Amino acid sequence: MAKRERIALTDEERAERRKQQQQLTERAVAQLRSSSGWQRWLTVRARAGLRRLSVRNQLLVMVQDEHATYVAGFRAWLNLGYCVRRGSTSHIRIWAPCPPSKKKLQAWRDAGADPTKRPKTYFRLEAVFSQAQVQPLPPPAEPVPLEAPITEEVQGDTLGWARAPLQQLASELGYRVEYRTLAHGHGGRCDREKKVITISDAQAVNAQVDATCHELAHALVLHDHQDGDLALGYAEEELVAESVAHLAVSFVGLDSSAFAVPYLAGWAEEAAADTFEQIAGLVDRLARRLEDALGADATTAATPAVKAA
């Protein structure tokens, strides 16, 4: 079969394509400005198949297909043991890295390998397919399980095993975890001065795990602070802590969706546009700390990381 040649675009066509790509990204980020949009992003981020993506790509998936649970390029799906169904057309684009070619790198070396002129990796929107567009390959292929089920309830006691790795993480942060009676309606609290996380022992074990994740998120906001992180007020930090806890317990199969993430409309109206993406990035980073702590003991295997294309 003859190889198809790529049609070169004019400068005007390239400019128009870049404009459309930028508009798509801006529209995706803008979704975070509403409570419902933030909730939709958390739903997308909690899915095992999308957890591996960057925040910006998670947002792009959300705005293009909020029901997608896993996305990958054509060849990546083959590596997972699936094939894209005949006739399927990609309707999702995400940013993918494009490293410099061997030819460009060799030309750079031949020219003296000036570090300031080394060819750089750039990003472009690449087509990916959702889980709904693929089917398992026949034997001997062994398709990889793509999604761990959400089966545990907050009022249950099936996640007792999770307390030990969370307490270990607290210890690494310099905190100790205590279980005792707290005022009615208080699931836990984090005392940063005394380095103590207190969890109410009156609630179910699974709820204790949820509360521990929430309070650990408060500890991590300070402990894992990085240059460029936003200065969080009370409302923003509560949004971060509850979002991180929701993602962490979803990782081990706990359905905490009944507990709404607090969101203040007044803050949403006053915050700059890029604030929401920065906070989503913070939530994603801190959630990964908790997921890593829980991962070694989780009863469900994590989905392998696969390049988008």
Residue 2 domain-assigned?
Answer: no
Would residue 41 count as lying in a domain? yes
- Asked if residue 188 belongs to a domain, the reply is yes
Judge if 289 and 168 occupy the same domain. yes
Task: Judge if 72 and 182 occupy the same domain.
Answer: no
Asked, for residue 4, whether it belongs to a domain, the answer is: no
Identify whether residues 97 and 183 lie together within a single domain.
no
Interval 258-303: pLDDT, tens: 665 655 445 555 566 678 889 999 999 999 999 999 985 443 333 3
Q: Residue 282 belongs to what domain range? A: 152-295
The C-alpha R_g of the chain, in whole angstroms, comes to 22
pLDDT on residue 262: 57
> Do 58 and 87 lie in a common domain?
yes
> What's the number of domains the chain is made of?
2
Note whether 28 and 94 are same-domain residues.
yes
Distances (CA, A) of 248 to 2, 34, 86, 106, 242: 50, 22, 37, 44, 10
pLDDT digits (tens, 9 = 90+) for 28-76: 888 887 777 888 888 888 887 788 899 999 999 999 998 998 999 999 9
* Nearest partner of 250 among 201, 213, 195, judged by Cα: 213
Considering the domain architecture, whether residues 129 and 158 belong to the same structural domain is answered as no
Q: List pLDDT tens digits, range 134-180.
A: 999 999 999 998 876 666 677 889 999 999 999 999 999 999 999 99
Classify residue 38 by burial, with Cβ atoms within 10 Å: 0-12, 13-18, 19+.
Answer: buried
Bridging pattern class, strands 71-72 and 152-153:
unpaired
Any domain includes 144: no
